[in-house]
Amino acid sequence: MSAQPDIMGDAGAPWDAADALPRAEDAGGARVDHLVVLGLVPPGARVLDIGCGDGTLLALLRDRRGVDGRGIELSREGVNACLARGLSVIQGDADTDLANYPDGAFDVVVLSQTIQATRNPRIVLEHLLRIGRQVIISFPNFGHWRVRAELAFRGRMPVTAMLPEAWYETQNIHHCTIRDFVGLCRVVGARIEKATALDARGHPMRFSMPWWVWNLIGAQGVFLLRRE
Amino acid sequence: MDTTPETCLDSRTDPAARLRETGREPSQALDPKSPVARFGTDRPLPMDSGVMLAPFQVAYQTAGTLNADRSNAVLICHALTGDQHFAHTHPVTGKPGWWETLVGPGKPVDTDRFFVVCSNVIGSCMGSTGPASLNPDTNRPYGLDFPLVTIRDMVRAQAMLLDHLGIGELLLCIGGSMGGMQVLQWAALYPERVFAAMPIATGARHSAQNIAFHEVGRQAIMADPAWADGRYLEAGTRPSKGLGVARMGAHITYLSEAALHRKFGRRFQAGSAPTFSFNADFQIESYLRHQGLSFVERFDANAYLYLTRAMDYFDLAEDHGGVLANAFRGTRTRFCVMSFTSDWLFPTADSRAIVHALNAASAPVAFVEVESDKGHDAFLLDEPAMFSAAKGFIDAAARARGL
């Protein structure tokens, strides 16, 4: 636990702004949050992208990092788009299909903006740590100031750029804050190797600051985890 | 149908004499025109039963042109009652090829770009050696003396055909149902010869329920006195009743409750009231009877026994120490597994079991479950979602092979 950034500790403890994070000008048309993941994946790694959508991130990782990429995607449209890109993607569900993957099958498992939509985030996270040697996970931060403001001042469930759907339509059933997520990491025995927050446009915040600031102004959290 | 000389196998024709006169053996009676690769006693087919089958022959059809690198070959594996006429008018029924929905110029399996081969499986009755063929030891049709056939035997024979055609590696091996079993067996037996594999609506083993349905069909054939203990070719009879009933039962398993309801419901064949008889009052009865009648014109009863048995015996995990993943260990073949939501003969769970094994073996695998209410036969029908997924997968495989 000593190697873990002390982000649950005193207000003064800073988060690392990860060195490998890309600058916006390197984007070359790619989404900045994808470039954040790109910066965390070693070349040639075996990568599983869960909830891979149309395969944009997997294709980026394959083309720029030479990874051996696989994906899981719920929608048939997404799977078809992946097939057309030559990606090996399985139509499936993070809640039910992860149990079938063997231990340590992948170097890196990526779960992007999906954990809050799973029925059992704790079990999903435990599977991720079991299947991958490293886990990259990102999620919308429910502690963001806009979310808090919506609740505090308007008394309504927030609808923001990160969380654009009304409460009765959203797939997101298990919201958490960055601080909540750090708590879950402790519960399941995940070591946090890197952590950062992205702003509402998906750009990494490139300065160190106390954790509570990140929990307040970060629109999403991005964590690089490893089983303890 | 027994009056048509071309399709008639009656006692007045000595099969051996017929072979001498025409150069065609009895299994070619229904389809004398398909090209045939003949393998003599120097090149026997080693079968799982321990028999070395010789001589034997494989009838096939092709479409498209093999390129100079021989890198654009596609093997289509047909289903239980299918044949080599995937994209050609059927010689008996006159119907279009059974997979013209998927295969043809500009289709996902594009015959403008690929050289497509499909052979009649060993044990069948459209020109490849099977129970209707002459047993060289007796000069009579084999009947039940033909050795039991396995999916692996079919695949070995196909590999010998590809050798004969000068094809080393397949760009793609694709098939549905029993054809999908052959695709899986190809990938397990000759992984270095299969660049991409597409098993559709299939399973790595035949379920108890599926074996049960097959057994009902076989017993229907054997209960027909005209079957004559499998010697009907010599007896000059045809077990059309038994084979027809077998087909009627099997055909139900290829559809779905929803599809039957949509197509037929409880509608009456004529008028709107029952006739208080056992005539085919309901449209569904009439439809099934038609399916049975038309099937016996183009299929051999003994071949049906052998091929259903081959599917029953198929258990790819059992062949690899009980662990399906072991069948694919170290493979470099890229897979696209496909199932249909309403298929209860080979339900999605069967496809998922294949996908899990391929994952455990670290094989590159894609999986698509196509939404369809058409049941198992959906893979033969117009299913745009299947076509778009197949096109994406096949085009990407072709790109990766530099085509």
Q: Where along chain A do its domains lie?
A: 24-227
Q: Are strands B36-39 and B56-63 parallel, antiparallel or unpaired?
A: antiparallel
pLDDT beyond 60 at A15 = no
Q: Which domains does chain B have, with CATH numbers?
A: 5-205+317-400 (3.40.50.1820), 212-307 (1.10.1740.110)
Phi, psi of B176 (to 5 degrees): -115, 150
Cβ neighbours of B371 in A, within 8 Å: 76
Q: Indicate the length of chain B as a whole number.
A: 403
Q: Are B58 and B36 in contact (CB under 8 A)?
A: yes
Catalytic member of B177, B240, B256, B342: B177
What residues contact residue B42 under an 8 Å CB cut-off, 6+ apart? B54
Q: What does DSSP assign to residue A158?
A: -
Beta pairing partners, A223: A137, A195
Instruction: Report the distance separating Cα B359 and Cα A100, nearest Å.
Output: 8
Q: Do A76 and B392 touch (CB under 8 A)?
A: no
Q: What is the ipTM of this complex?
A: 0.81
Candidate from B336, B362, B368 with C-beta closest to A76: B368
Catalytic member of B71, B256, B376, B377: B376
Instruction: Report the distance separating Cα B329 and Cα B204, nearest Å.
Output: 15
Candidate from B355, B385, B399 with C-beta closest to A76: B385
**Active-site annotation holds for B376:** yes
For all residues of chain B together, what is the average pLDDT?
93
What residues contact residue A109 under an 8 Å CB cut-off, 6+ apart? A47, A48, A50, A128, A131, A132, A134, A135, A136
pLDDT of residue A20: 43
Amino acid making up residue B158: Q
Supply the angle between the helices A121-131 and A178-188 in degrees, to the nearest 10.
60
**pLDDT tens-place string over residues A149-174:** 999 999 999 988 778 899 999 999 99
Mean pLDDT of B115-131: 97
Confidence of residue B20 (pLDDT cuts 50, 70, 90): low
pLDDT beyond 70 at B7 = no
**pLDDT tens-place string over residues B225-267:** 999 999 999 999 999 999 999 999 999 999 999 999 999 999 9
The answer to whether residue B359 neighbours chain A at the CB level (below 8 Å) is yes
Q: Do A80 and B397 touch (CB under 8 A)?
A: no
**Active-site annotation holds for B343:** yes
Classify each residue of A189-200 as buried b or exposed e, where b means 16 or more C-beta atoms within 10 Å of its C-beta: ebebbbbbbbee
Number of C-beta neighbours around residue A205 at 10 A: 18
**pLDDT tens-place string over residues B77-115:** 999 999 999 999 999 999 999 999 999 999 999 999 999
Candidate from A88, A100, A101 with C-beta closest to B334: A88
What residues contact residue B385 under an 8 Å CB cut-off, 6+ apart? A76, A80, B368, B370, B371, B372
Catalytic member of B343, B350, B372, B377: B343
Instruction: Report the distance separating Cα B117 and Cα B175, nearest Å.
Output: 12
Tokens at B140, concatenated = 């009579």
User: Could you tell me what percentage of chain A is helix, strand and coil, using 3-state DSSP and rounding each to the nearest 5?
Assistant: 35, 25, 40
The answer to whether residue B93 neighbours chain A at the CB level (below 8 Å) is no
**pLDDT tens-place string over residues A105-154:** 999 999 998 999 999 999 999 999 999 999 999 999 999 999 999 999 99
For all residues of chain A together, what is the average pLDDT?
86
Confidence of residue B18 (pLDDT cuts 50, 70, 90): low
pLDDT of residue A204: 82
Phi, psi of A97 (to 5 degrees): -100, -15
Q: Are A52 and A71 in contact (CB under 8 A)?
A: yes
Candidate from B389, B399, B400 with C-beta closest to A83: B389
Cβ neighbours of B360 in A, within 8 Å: 100-102, 105
Q: Which of B328, B337, B372, B393 best tests the A interface by mutation, with the highest count of A CBs <10 A?
A: B393
pLDDT beyond 60 at A3 = no
Q: For chain B, positions 368-397, list CB contacts with chain A under 8 A.
A: 368-371, 385, 388-389, 391-393, 395-397
Confidence of residue B17 (pLDDT cuts 50, 70, 90): low
Q: Is A54 helix (H, G, I), strand (E, B) or coil?
A: coil
Architecture per CATH, domain A24-227, reads as 3-Layer(aba) Sandwich (3.40)
